[in-house]
Amino acid sequence: MSEKSKHDLGGGSDPRRLSRRKFLAGATTAAAFSVAPGGLLAAAERGGPAGTTAASGSDPAPGTIRVDATPGRETSSFSPNKALGTSIDMLGYKSVDKLYTEPVIKKCLSAGWGPITYRQHTELQIAAWHWNPTGTWSDAAGKQGYFTGSSELGEPIRHSYGYHLPHRGNTRNNGTLSGFSRLNDGDPKTYWKSNPYLAERYTGESDSLNPQWVVIDLGAEGPVTAIRIDWANPYARAYEVQYWTGNDDPMNKPVGGVWNAFPNGAVKDGQGGRVTLKLTQNPIDVRFLRIVMTESSHTPDSHGPDDPRNSEGFAITELYAGTFTERGEFVDLMQHSPDQNQSPTYCSSIDPWHSASDLHMEGGDQTGFDLFFTSGVTNNLPAIIPIAMLYGTPEDAAAQIHYLKKRGYPVSYIEMGEEPDGQYAMPEHYAALYIQFATAIHRLVPEAKLGGPIFTGQNEDIKIWPDAQGRTSWLGRFLDYLKSHGRIEDLAFMSFEHYPFAPCEVTWADLYREPELVSHMLDVWRNDGLPENVPMIITESNLSWGLNQSFVDIFGALWLAEYVGAYLSAGGDGVYYFQFFPLPIGCGCHGSGTFGLFVADKNFEVKQYTSQYFAARLINLEWVKPGGEIHHCFRVSTDIRDAVGNEMLAAYALHRPDEEWSLMIVNRDQENAHEVRVVFENHAAHQERAFSGPVRMVTFGREQYRWHSNGSYGHADPDGPPATRTLEGGSGASFTIPKASLTILRGKIEA
């Protein structure tokens, strides 16, 4: 499972702050260039070595960029209005009114991204989401139970919030380090309860096929001979206690060890109440224990018998693990505390039951859907929106989609939940919920296109504890579940996030790795069994999940170009950049930085643009032709390498709908510019052609942008704009690509 810790999104505790001396207003302008004697292009003071040269006898021969422009050999095709987007996530409490203003939105749209995805952050906080504050409770008198938002069209929804889950079982997940588990909070009145929608009543399958579990982390290996379980209702009639052997953490490295049954760990006739089990005669040194529950008592919990969901699943009040003294006294090795100091526990699922008093506004604001769709952030394009699945109900999700349809808001896709791998959800459990939620949504909105699983940013296949057949691929098992239940057609797209590098470990050499990483993931998902007709979309992405100076330095711009160019060229169907709105600057690895496109102060006022802003404009407004027409990607090769064989230039070629050829070129060399010829090869006709007539060249590199880290006073100087020039092509033309730069070459080729 993922080791990703979800980024903070600008709440009240966000340390990212800025006070800057230099303001940048308005759109970028082209830098001035002059042509030097002999045809060399000399940059103005803020430019760099950019332009065309004619090779002479004393100059080294230029390298070559070769584009396989043979008709029919395109590697992929895409429409910018569907494939190049951005995203919004939960916003800090009371920040929505500052961000959703016409000037801020206009500046954000100037980066050129097309569609937008709406991220569902409440699930990462282990919270229920009220997408509509108006709705009905299953226990109306008590304002508690299972909440269903109203699909009736009332007052426009401007704000929405999360609600704490009082039956929580995870101390933490890969999205939050706040709150606590009720499995060992020391309070006899609280309890964990599993999700009732994973019980036979709702899945139509025996509970033994969807066993629920809890895991205990003692923090370090210690001698264990016994476990004490204070069962709540419904309790487990059949369960087994196990221990982990292996060198790795079973939650984050699930294939690094094995779960073993204690000699006396199996119970087949559980009666509930307090149970103390002597698991083994001789102590076993263990750190992780697991209780696997396969048969429920179906007895109602503390909320009473009126709602059948109260009697489904499993519930535990408190857990203890340890040994006995010689006098038979139980010695507990667990720390019990209503905070993050408790011994960590994890669970297979959580009951979404909650009450009105569990409202957590300070946790952040999930933008209200009416504000989202009417503010302008969607760029008048269909948006990808989420439903809450892990901690919601099918009825609530269906009401949400029905509401959006009634409003007439354009929705392209619907993501089902958020990061199930980062929340330790088993693939079969996620699939069982997926089918129930899909059924409810399609009953009201048959045309809705659903997908997921919205994996956390990964570079490899997602692994999970092996099943009875030894299968460990999360996606493979999820797909097999849908196929075996005749519901694979309910998966209209596959989505995942891309945060490829640990924040404190980013190096310049990662530029070489990025193209292989994203193309590799496409192969991984197909090898897991994803049908060929199911598109793959990265619905949230950036360089890393944690703050790093590399976001704002020129490296961030070059990485963004590599990522977008490589993924779309390899056949990916869409990339969505995080994030749309400005966030305050803060301190991260190797200095100050921020997520996103802007250097902003604590009031979200934009002071400067980051390097990724300029890269976004080159991608969205120069490399592609903005709009909805189809672009075709073609394979490119280069012959400029360093001493160990690394390609110094990465190039991504498009044939645009206006008949122009557009090359996005990244010079990975930090020390040297490189002169190149561009050759377009038509292998079918045995032809080689070149740019003909005017060639537009736009360059953005260290000569145009350099970041200076100085805490909250971090800033760029120079801070753009890109260097722009119109040049003449021809069979003898060559182009000098500046060091550490992103360059667009665009024009038509010889007939």
- pLDDT tens per residue, range 415-470: 999 999 999 999 999 999 999 999 999 999 999 999 999 999 879 999 999 999 99
pLDDT at residue number 593: 85
- pLDDT tens per residue, range 613-622: 999 999 999 9
State residue 53 phi and psi, 5-degree precision: -135, 155
Do the Cβ atoms of 91 and 10 come closer than 8 Å? yes
User: Between the CA of residue 318 and those of 157, 181, 229, 425, what are the distances in Å?
Assistant: 40, 10, 6, 22
Q: In angstroms, rounded to a whole number, what is the distance separating the alpha carbons of residues 214 and 515?
A: 39
Q: In angstroms, rounded to a whole number, what is the distance separating the alpha carbons of residues 736 and 676?
A: 6
The residue type found at 131 is W
Residue for token pair 């991608």: 619
For residue 21, pLDDT over 50 is answered with no
If DSSP states are collapsed to H, E and C, what string results for 577-591?
EECCCCCECEEEECE
Element (H, E) at 164: strand 161-164
pLDDT at residue number 247: 81
For residue 702, pLDDT over 50 is answered with yes
- Mean pLDDT value across the chain: 91
Crossing angle (nearest 10°) for helices 510-527 and 554-569: 30
pLDDT at residue number 40: 22
For residue 162, pLDDT over 90 is answered with yes
User: Between the CA of residue 117 and those of 26, 113, 328, what are the distances in Å?
Assistant: 26, 11, 58
pLDDT at residue number 676: 97
60 CB-near residues (< 8 Å, 6+ apart) = 675
Do the Cβ atoms of 234 and 299 come closer than 8 Å? yes
**E-only strand ranges, 429-526:** 450-455, 493-498
Bond preceding residue 120 cis, omega within 30 of 0: no
223 CB-near residues (< 8 Å, 6+ apart) = 283, 284, 285, 323
For residue 46, pLDDT over 50 is answered with no
Looking at the chain, how many residues does it have?
A: 751
| DSSP conformation class of 463 | B
Q: In angstroms, rounded to a whole number, what is the distance separating the alpha carbons of residues 743 and 700?
A: 6
Residue for token pair 């919920």: 433
Crossing angle (nearest 10°) for helices 474-484 and 427-444: 50
- pLDDT tens per residue, range 484-527: 999 999 999 999 999 999 989 999 999 999 999 999 999 999 99
Q: Is 204 helix (H, G, I), strand (E, B) or coil?
A: coil
pLDDT class of 380 with cuts at 50, 70, 90: very high
Q: Is 713 helix (H, G, I), strand (E, B) or coil?
A: coil
Query: Which tokens hold the place of 213?
Result: 């579990």
User: Mean pLDDT, to the nearest integer, of 594-604?
Assistant: 91
pLDDT at residue number 346: 98
Do the Cβ atoms of 387 and 415 come closer than 8 Å? yes
State residue 563 phi and psi, 5-degree precision: -60, -50
pLDDT class of 547 with cuts at 50, 70, 90: confident
Q: In angstroms, rounded to a whole number, what is the distance separating the alpha carbons of residues 6 and 457?
A: 10
Do the Cβ atoms of 383 and 117 come closer than 8 Å? yes
pLDDT class of 403 with cuts at 50, 70, 90: very high
- pLDDT tens per residue, range 324-377: 998 999 999 999 999 999 999 999 999 999 999 999 999 999 999 999 999 999
pLDDT at residue number 711: 75
pLDDT at residue number 200: 97
| DSSP conformation class of 605 | -
C-alpha closest to that of 611 among 717, 712, 473, 491:
717
Q: Is 176 helix (H, G, I), strand (E, B) or coil?
A: coil
User: Mean pLDDT, to the nearest integer, of 123-130?
Assistant: 96
C-alpha closest to that of 401 among 388, 420, 390:
388
Do the Cβ atoms of 39 and 53 come closer than 8 Å? yes
Question: Which alpha helices (DSSP H) does 489-544 contain, by range?
Answer: 510-527
Do the Cβ atoms of 742 and 724 come closer than 8 Å? no
Do the Cβ atoms of 146 and 353 come closer than 8 Å? yes
- 433: number of CA atoms within 13 Å, CB side? 30
Q: In angstroms, rounded to a whole number, what is the distance separating the alpha carbons of residues 657 and 624?
A: 9
State residue 440 phi and psi, 5-degree precision: -65, -40
pLDDT at residue number 371: 98
Query: Which tokens hold the place of 533?
Result: 């007709």
Q: Which residue has the higher pLDDT, 635 or 21?
A: 635
Longest CA span, the chain:
97
Do the Cβ atoms of 641 and 648 come closer than 8 Å? yes
State what percent of residues in the chain have pLDDT above 70.
Answer: 92
The DSSP result for 81-117, as a single string, is HHHEEEEE--B-TT-HHHHSSHHHHHHHHTT----EE
Do the Cβ atoms of 634 and 653 come closer than 8 Å? yes
State residue 485 phi and psi, 5-degree precision: -100, 10
Residue 347, Cβ density class (10 Å: 0-12 exposed, 13-18 middle, ≥19 buried): buried
| List of domains in the chain | 36-73+635-749 (2.60.40.1180), 80-127+362-623 (3.20.20.80), 192-351 (2.60.120.260)
Q: Is 8 helix (H, G, I), strand (E, B) or coil?
A: coil
User: Between the CA of residue 512 and those of 63, 551, 636, 652, what are the distances in Å?
Assistant: 19, 17, 15, 14
Do the Cβ atoms of 160 and 366 come closer than 8 Å? yes
pLDDT at residue number 595: 87
Residue for token pair 């809450």: 388
Q: In angstroms, rounded to a whole number, what is the distance separating the alpha carbons of residues 711 and 590?
A: 10
Do the Cβ atoms of 118 and 157 come closer than 8 Å? no
pLDDT class of 44 with cuts at 50, 70, 90: very low
pLDDT class of 59 with cuts at 50, 70, 90: low
| DSSP conformation class of 37 | G
